[in-house]
Structure 1
Amino acid sequence: MIWRRQTTHDALNAMNEGTMMALLDIRYVALTDDSLEATMPVDHRTHQPFGLLHGGASVVLAETLGSMAGYLCTEGDQKVVGLEINANHIRAVRSGRVRGVCKAIHTGRRSQVWQIEIFDEEGRLCCTSRLTTAVI
């Protein structure tokens, strides 16, 4: 297991209250030994003007997952902040919920690198993202 903090996905969801994650209805749904998963609706809150999932909304989901996963790999008063994120949008999504799966590429003392893949309800890859974080 890579996590240094004990939690549940229900406790993580409670942390989202009053944040952008709550506004977009991002919900943590699974916490395994080496991954963190969350879902996000594809609806009026996350659409771009042409009725498709906005690429920026995918990046919000990716950074949400990577930042929280990073935090879970720290101890005490340590926090994690994003340094760089990139995303490749592979498939358009019009409706439903997308699911992001976050896994560590590197979890160092001062920096971390996270791979986040976002899938549609049929399990097709829609976006792949990489987030680099700093531990402060």
Structure 2
Amino acid sequence: MTKEEMLELSKKVCKNTLMETLEIEFTEIGDDYLIAKMPVTSRVHQPDGVLHGGASVALAESVGSMASYVFLDTEKFYIRGIEISANHLKSISEGVVFARASFIHKGRTTQLFEIRITDEDQNLISIVKLTTIALPKKN
């Protein structure tokens, strides 16, 4: 499957999911990374008008899990997130944030990602570590 086909597939599987609700859109795929973007509007604000940390974590887990999905053989495996940790470094109240998931470790069973969430000016908003697991599908 080409990168363009993988990117289209990642968009298609998000219909009627949290990713669609949060307006997360996968925008770029490389040899070992995936990028998604999410608009920062009142839909993802906490009560004082800035991006909710939970929305940032949802974005990070979405892009990391989707990276596992597109880079592993999902004909044979289910992908699940098993651990996530986030540090929120800067607030943002409007615009767009981008999440880039890059492999730290790409094992057969577990995968470890670094996900950097930045704003449109490349300011680091959050940095996240995500561990995913590939579980075999039953035939």
TM-score normalised by the chain length of structure 1: 0.93
The amino acid of 1:9's aligned partner reads: L
* Structure that is richer in helix per residue: 2
Q: How many residues align?
A: 132
Name the structure 1 match of 2:38: 40
- List alignment gaps of at least 5 residues for structure 2: none
For residues 1-136 of structure 1, the aligned pairs below 5 Å read: 6=2, 7-75=5-73, 76-136=75-135
CA-based RMSD of the aligned residues comes to 1.1
Shift of 1:8: 3.2
Q: Post-superposition, which runs of at least 4 consecutive aligned residues in structure 1 deviate over 4 A?
A: none
Letter in 1 for 2:37: T
Give the drift of 1:86: 0.3
Tell me the TM-score normalized by structure 2. Answer: 0.91
State the identity %.
39
What per-residue deviation string (whole Å, max 9, x for no partner) do you get for residues 55-112 of structure 1? 0000000000110111223212211101100000000001011000110001111111
What 5-or-longer segments of structure 1 have no aligned partner?
Answer: none
